Amino acid sequence: MLPSFRGCEEQGHGARRLPTSRGIRFIDAVSTVAEIESALEKLPVDKQREVAAWLEAKLWPETPAMLAAIDEAERSLAEEGGVPIEDVRRNLSQWITK
């Protein structure tokens, strides 16, 4: 169930009455993965991407160690070069199974 927010009134079964600039809007709380997935599928793709970006940032926040590793990878790529894309395509299945 959603936490209680000032201005919202419980409507039973998890629904809340939320005051907006256009009047009152009713929202339902979602608490299971299936309900969340169903609600997400109803959103436009751009809003789904916003949720995905928020969830990614929440689950995998940037840390100093991660940023240092990215900096090191950039330095290494600049100094040593990368792997040609043809080699990546040819060897990827072997690399990911090691």
Q: pLDDT digit string (tens) for 23-75?
A: 655 556 777 888 889 989 999 999 999 999 999 999 988 999 999 999 999 99
pLDDT higher for 12 or 68? 68
Helix (H), strand (E), coil (C) string for 39-76: HHHCCCHHHHHHHHHHHHHHHCCCCHHHHHHHHHHHHH
pTM for the full model? 0.44
**Are 62 and 34 within one domain?**
no
**What range defines the domain where residue 36 resides?**
1-42
Res 20: pLDDT? 59
Res 64: pLDDT? 94
**Are 63 and 29 within one domain?**
no
Q: How confident is the model at residue 11 (pLDDT cuts 50, 70, 90)?
A: very low
- Give the strand order in the sheet containing 23-28: 9-10, 15-20, 23-28
Residue with tokens 């940037």: 62
Structural domain includes residue 96: no
Which one-letter DSSP state was computed for residue 82?
-
